[in-house]
């Protein structure tokens, strides 16, 4: 039995297979309309989401299956009345696959340890693999390839999306450049950078981290940013973080240093005037809603793969 915990553990070949399947699912949805018939997905939510819930629930429905929404805030597991292990052992008797969107990555690892059905990471404080699979699908749709492209990430380098994007990009032969403020609270983790350097040695890609936003974005094919205020960050830190990250705001001036045909991405939600300007996210180079749509197709491919239904 296989899980999707992090793209760090998935081989380039596995990622390629899922991306190819996602493309076929998107192109030929009727071929998969009964692929999950009489199958049930349990969706465990500790963190709220628009795209995650809608894409997983719609995806199961479109493949003939059913999804159950389970919020930990009003559950025995969330209140501490029942352990994660007991909850997941029980759930595994009722459903065919589990996805979880949690604060703590260790809680997801515990779920995977005790589950007897596949577990999908729909976001933790450590990683966001489903988002990056959708991102890679979108990039390939727009650019025709992944290997050899320069992907520049600007902003908060010390977060789950950045780390997952680095894993996915370097495994697929991309040149991943991260522009973020210096310091352990803002830059990618050293172990992630080291892992990505090792992945790049085998894929022909590369990884580069700098505190110079112009250097990071120079000649980029893909420009990516994300929220400066992740869920776990206290509200009283907002003003200081905005001041710290403002030099990394993706605006028309910064985009001018990327390639003229560069595409702009944000996994959403987005705040215009913070991590990017309205001119950029609502402009012709932005593909943020194509990117969001691909959550549906990429996650269908993940479910089909893990459940052996492809």
Contact 141, 162 (CB under 8 A): no
**Catalytic member of 295, 297, 299, 307:** 295
Whether 295 sits among the annotated catalytic residues: the reply is: yes
Alpha-carbon span 240 to 90, nearest angstrom: 45
Interacting residues of 55 by C-beta distance below 8 A, sequence separation 6+ = 295, 296, 299
Whether 307 sits among the annotated catalytic residues: the reply is: no
Q: Where are the alpha helices (DSSP H) in the chain?
A: 12-27, 51-62, 76-79, 84-91, 105-114, 129-143, 160-171, 190-203, 213-217, 238-245, 252-255, 278-281, 288-306
Alpha-carbon span 152 to 41, nearest angstrom: 35
Whether 131 sits among the annotated catalytic residues: the reply is: yes
**Catalytic member of 3, 128, 163, 297:** 128
**Catalytic member of 101, 163, 175, 241:** 101
Alpha-carbon span 201 to 30, nearest angstrom: 40
Contact 267, 162 (CB under 8 A): no
**Catalytic member of 267, 276, 297, 307:** 267
**Catalytic member of 226, 249, 274, 299:** 226
Whether 267 sits among the annotated catalytic residues: the reply is: yes
Using CB atoms within 10 A of its CB, is residue 278 exposed (0-12), middle (13-18) or buried (19+)? exposed
**Catalytic member of 131, 137, 276, 299:** 131
Catalytic residues: 101, 128, 131, 226, 267, 295
């Amino acid at each position: 039995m296989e899980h999707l915990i992090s793209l760090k553990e998935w081989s380039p070949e596995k990622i390629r297979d899922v991306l190819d399947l996602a493309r076929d699912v998107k192109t030929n949805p009727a071929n998969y309309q009964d692929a999950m018939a009489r199958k049930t997905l349990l969706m465990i939510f500790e963190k709220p989401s628009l795209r995650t819930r809608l894409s997983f629930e719609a995806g199961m429905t479109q493949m003939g299956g059913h999804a159950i929404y389970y919020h930990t805030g009003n559950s025995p597991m969330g209140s501490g009345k029942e352990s994660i292990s007991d909850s997941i052992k029980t759930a595994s008797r009722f459903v065919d696959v589990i996805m979880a969107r949690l604060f703590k990555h260790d809680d997801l690892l515990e779920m995977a340890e005790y589950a007897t059905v596949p577990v999908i990471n729909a976001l933790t404080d450590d990683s966001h693999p489903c988002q990056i699979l959708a991102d890679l699908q979108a990039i390939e749709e727009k650019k025709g390839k992944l290997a050899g492209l320069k992907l520049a990430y600007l902003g908060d380098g010390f977060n789950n999306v950045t780390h997952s994007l680095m894993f996915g990009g370097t495994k697929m032969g991309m040149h991943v450049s991260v522009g973020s403020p210096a310091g352990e609270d803002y830059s990618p983790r050293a172990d992630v950078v080291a892992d990505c350097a090792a992945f790049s040695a085998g894929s022909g890609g590369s990884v580069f981290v700098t505190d110079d936003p112009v250097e990071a974005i120079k000649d980029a094919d893909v420009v990516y940013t994300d929220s400066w205020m992740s869920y776990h960050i206290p509200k009283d830190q907002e003003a200081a973080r905005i001041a710290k990250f403002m030099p990394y705001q993706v605006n028309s001036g910064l985009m001018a240093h990327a390639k003229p045909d560069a595409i702009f991405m944000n996994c959403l939600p987005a705040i215009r005037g913070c991590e990017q300007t309205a001119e950029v996210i609502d402009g012709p180079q932005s593909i943020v809603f194509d990117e969001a749509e691909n959550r549906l197709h990429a996650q269908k491919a993940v479910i089909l793969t893990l459940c052996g239904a492809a």
